[in-house]
Structure formats: structure tokens, C-alpha cells
Amino acid sequence: MFFTRFSAALVVAAGLAVPAFAQSQIDRPECIAPANPGGGFDLTCRVIQSGLDPHVDAPIQVTFMPGGIGAVAYNLFNSTRTDDGSAVVAFSTGSLLNILTGKYGAFTENDVRWVGTAGADFGAVVVRADSEYTDLSQLMADFSADPASVVVGAGGSVGSQDWMKGALLLREAGATPMDMRYVAFDGGGDAIAALLGGSIEVYTGDVGEMVPHIDAGQMRILAVMSPERLDAPFAEIPTAMEQGFDVEWTILRGFYMGGEVSDADYQKWVDAFNAAYETEEFAAIQKERGLLPLNLAGDALEASIEEQVANLRAIAKEAGLIN
């Protein structure tokens, strides 16, 4: 296969047994969403803005820091804000891919501290509500006949995880991924605006970021890239696999801090995450946002990142993105 499939273990909650914690004393807690509003990083920050609120002693502020699909933020927290104990930065599986393919510069996954997760998300194939494509098979037929006839766009450059979702579709259609007409945007919010404006025909985004748009009736999800159908509000949307196409993409959503953050400040955030994971309220927020309960913090997340980077490195080599 062009890509190896993510392990199903990604969507299983860690189930860490921890006692309830008192509120963590974090001075002016902040979540950095390294893109414009409306995309997956925005979604990731909103999960903890609500979900961690009972477990920190001040409201978590969300700050947008677009640039390089996370590169600007990653470089800032590896240079100027390396010891900032008040802020966490949202990341996804795509961020890990960008790190190991050098899109974030010389810094590696070992230069930051991985703190906690918001949950697991999945790739989605999205079109406008008035699109001629009413199911995935129609789109795949056009990809097969003439890949360049369809304009695809997403919040990431060539080689990013959103590009890879499109590449998976083309590969499954028997086409060459590099033949895809792909338009890169600086975040999912910009890509969604382009889809609604008619600049692109297909958005290869994430299902979780579609929650606010489902009731508006402006977009149609042709398929989710999950191993099985998701619960409401996505229960009626078929997977790519059940439509006959062997395409799957699981997305870890989480947070990192600067590499020089003190153990004490780091532990405050870890404690807050672990306390939140034990509550029904946090699980409800994950479900509302279209996420599955992948709950990892501290050492457990660090170990998971190490494993995922190794898997992604293998995928990137298969795709020809690295040697």
C-alpha cells in the first residue's frame, strides 16, 4: 500500500486511573491555535477552554497565531517562549508530520514538552451542499478518469496530512498523487471559506471541525476516514471504507509546551488534563466536538508521540517525502 494504516489503538482511551485534583494554579492560562479561526487547531483549543475550565483557577484564553501551518508557533516556542509555563500550543498528527519532514525548521519532536490530548479526530471528504458530487464514488470516478479535473484544497502544503488525505484518495482511484490539483491554505478555516466561495471543489479536512457547519446546510460530507461509522452527529455519514475505498486517516489532537518549561509548571497542566479526563463533562465536550476519547497526558503522551513519529516517518518515506 502507498500508506500504512494507523493503529486502531489511537482511538482507544488511555483510561488512566488518577484521583481528582484541586484546581491547578496557572497564571493567565493560554491556548495557542497556530492558524486562523475556524479550523482544527481552533477546535482543539476550544475543547480545553471548556473542558479544563473547572480544573484551572483562571479562564483559558485562546490566541490565534497563523503561519506555516504551525511553523511560526513551533519556532516561537523553541526560541522566545521556551520556558513559558502559562501557555500550551495545539498540534495534530499533521504537525508531527511537518516536524519530521523539516517544515518546522531544524527543531525536532524532542525540543518541546508534550502535555496532553484533546481527543482523536478523523479525515473527511467535504464538498459544498450544491456540489455535483453526492457520494464518494462519483468523486473517485473523476479522480480515476482525470485527476486534474477536480480542484482539491485544505489547510496544509504539499506533503502535509491534509494533502496526504487527497493523495490517499487519488492512489485508491488508480491515479498518481502528484497529479492532484491541490490548493494550500493556512488553516482549515481559510480552506472552508474557499470551498464555500467556489475556489476549490473538494476539501480534505477533519470531521471534528465540521460540527459547527452541519446544521447550516452549506456543506456535505461525502465520507469520513474512520475505521467505523462515528456516533451522532456523524452517524448518517458513511466511511470511505464502507463505500468500497480503502482509505483511513486518524488524527491525534493535543498540546505541547516549550522545552525549557519547569517541571512544576508542566505538572500543573498535566494534573489539570488528568483531572478533566476523569469527568463525564470532558467526555461530553469531546463528543460534541466530534472527537473520540483519546486521553493521554504527561509521560503517557510522550511515549505515544515517540511511537507515532516512528510510524509517520515510515509513511513519509513511502510517500517519497523524506529519504
Residue 82 lies in a domain: yes
Is residue 147 within 8 Å of residue 279, measured between CB atoms?
no
User: Helix 299-318 and helix 93-100: axis angle, to 10°?
Assistant: 60
Residue 243 lies in a domain: no
Same domain for 111 and 21: yes
Same domain for 182 and 34: no
Same domain for 273 and 218: no
pTM higher than 0.85: no
Beta strand pairing status for 87-92 and 30-33? parallel
**In the block, which residue shows the cell 453526492?**
134
Same domain for 132 and 220: yes
233-247 residue pLDDT tens: 889 999 999 999 999
Residue 203, classed as helix, strand or coil, is strand
Query: Which value, in Å, is the radius of gyration of the alpha carbons in the chain?
Result: 19
Same domain for 195 and 217: yes
- How far apart are the two ends of the chain, measured CA to CA in Å? 18
Residue 16 lies in a domain: yes
Residue 239 lies in a domain: no
Residue 3 lies in a domain: no
Amino acid occupying residue 144: S
78-98 residue pLDDT tens: 999 999 999 999 999 989 999
C-alpha cell at 229: 461509522
- Cα 118 to the center of its chain, rounded Å: 10
Domain that holds residue 113: 8-121+250-318
User: Helix 93-100 and helix 161-172: axis angle, to 10°?
Assistant: 90
The percentage of residues in the chain with a pLDDT greater than 90, rounded to a whole number, is 71
Same domain for 283 and 184: no
The stretch 257-267 carries a mean pLDDT of 98
Residue 211 lies in a domain: yes
Same domain for 186 and 153: yes
C-alpha–C-alpha distance, residues 269 and 256, integer Å: 10
With a cut of 60, say whether residue 255 has pLDDT above it.
Answer: yes
DSSP string, 103-133: TTTT--GGGEEEEEEEEEEEEEEEEETT-S-
Amino acid occupying residue 102: G
Same domain for 117 and 182: no
Is residue 86 within 8 Å of residue 26, measured between CB atoms?
yes
Same domain for 129 and 59: no
Angle in degrees, CA 187, 189, 190, rounded to 5:
75
6-52 residue pLDDT tens: 444 444 444 443 444 468 899 999 999 999 998 889 999 999 999 99
Is residue 309 within 8 Å of residue 315, measured between CB atoms?
no
Residue 64 DSSP symbol: E
With a cut of 90, say whether residue 159 has pLDDT above it.
Answer: no
Same domain for 77 and 33: yes
Same domain for 169 and 111: no
Number of structural domains (the chain) is: 2
C-alpha–C-alpha distance, residues 8 and 12, integer Å: 7
Residue 238 lies in a domain: no
Query: What's 280's domain CATH number?
Result: 3.40.190.150
Same domain for 129 and 100: no
Query: What's 185's domain CATH number?
Result: 3.40.190.10
Residue 2 lies in a domain: no
The percentage of residues in the chain with a pLDDT greater than 70, rounded to a whole number, is 93
